[in-house]
Amino acid sequence: MNDEQLLRYSRHLLLEDIDVEGQEKLLNSHALVIGAGGLGCAAAPYLAAAGLGHITLIDHDEVEITNLQRQIMHTESSIGKSKVDSGKHFLCQLNSGVRIQTVQAKVTKSILDDLLPSVDIVLDCTDNFQTRHLINASCVQYQIPLVSGSALRFDGQITVFDLRNTASPCYACIFSPDETFEEVSCSSMGIFSPLVGIIGSIQAAQALQVLIGFGEPLVGRMLLWNARATNIDEIRIARNTECSVCGKAH
């Protein structure tokens, strides 16, 4: 690290769990943030502020006025622009030393095949089961840690899937790809503005923990946050040996 970086990240360097070695790991890491909506708008800025060297943002959508209630990377002047371009502008202003790469498209298997070999961690900030299963299957294939978050109305949940750990489940262990779930969205159900900030920030924290290698990330555990009751629950989640994605047959 140069002198400017030593000063910029000095509060991290004071933490024994991070120190210079941990900060250098961040500076040399590449995170893929899929979704530049509510969760991504909270997670990506903390990754950039923390000094994660390379961030790739994927999103196909454009900024609408209804997004501004919770998607804090975007401003009134961003309306009509692509979310990834708006997000890149915000992140570059926050930390010009971070490389920001953008992909304005719906995430596909082909895109993941191109990106994942160079990625150290994935943050799933999307809002539908089909996309989450696609991301999960690719992360299992490439053995890339996946930080998964979701938020709707007043409820949020977050967990970490890390198949480098033989005890870790994957997303399909919990939500089978063979089952049909009713898709619901904040456009029809509503969402409490700070909720995505809380869950997205925890996603960033989990990603930093996994990359640096300290503490106990949420592998095998799912955190449930209820903003109405201001209540946090934790449930244990186990690997399914018969899982169609990460089970014995695979």
Residue 194 to residue 183: CA distance in whole angstroms: 22
pLDDT confidence bin for 177, thresholds 50/70/90? confident
**pLDDT over 90, % of the chain:** 90
- Average pLDDT, stretch 205-213? 98
pLDDT tens readout for residues 9-42: 999 999 999 999 999 999 999 999 999 999 999 9
Q: What is the arithmetic mean of pLDDT over 50-61?
A: 98
What's at 166, amino acid-wise? T
108, 126 Cβ separation under 8 angstroms = no
Q: Is the pLDDT of residue 250 over 60?
A: no
Cα angle: 11, vertex 234, 244; to 5 degrees: 105
Q: What is the mean pLDDT of residues 62-77?
A: 96
Pairing of the two strands 54-58 and 99-103: parallel
Residue 45: CB partners within 8 Å, gap ≥ 6? Answer: 72, 73, 90, 91, 94
Average pLDDT over residues 148-172: 95
Flag whether pLDDT at 52 surpasses 60. yes
Fill in the amino acid letter for 14.
Answer: L
How far apart CA 124 and CA 159 sit, in angstroms, is: 10
Instruction: Determine if the pTM surpasses 0.85.
Output: yes
Q: Which residues contact 175 (CB under 8 A, 6 or more apart)?
A: 129, 132, 133, 181
Predicted confidence (pLDDT) per residue in 184-207, tens digit? 666 668 899 999 999 999 999 999
pLDDT score, position 86: 98
Is there a contact between 55 and 99 (Cβ–Cβ < 8 Å)? yes
pLDDT confidence band for 179 (50 / 70 / 90): confident
Between CA 222 and CA 157 the distance in angstroms is 7
Domains in the chain, ordered, with CATH? 3-236 (3.40.50.720)
CA distance 65 to 67: 5
Distance between CA atoms of residues 231 and 122, nearest Å: 27
**pLDDT tens for each residue of 218-232:** 999 999 999 999 999
Residue 161 has pLDDT above 90, yes or no: yes
Residue 88: per-residue pLDDT: 98
Q: Kindly report the average pLDDT of the chain as a whole number.
A: 95
Residue with tokens 């903003």: 227
Q: 117-149, pLDDT tens digit by residue? A: 999 999 999 999 999 999 999 999 999 999 999
Rounded to whole angstroms, the Cα distance separating 51 from 30 reads 11
pLDDT for the residue 164: 93
Cα separation, 244 vs 189, whole angstroms? 31
Residue range 89-106: mean pLDDT, rounded: 97
Is the pLDDT at 154 greater than 80, yes or no? yes
Q: Identify which has the larger pLDDT, 189 or 111.
A: 111
- What stretches of the chain show up as alpha helix (H) in DSSP? 3-8, 10-13, 19-27, 38-49, 83-94, 109-115, 129-142, 171-174, 186-189, 193-212
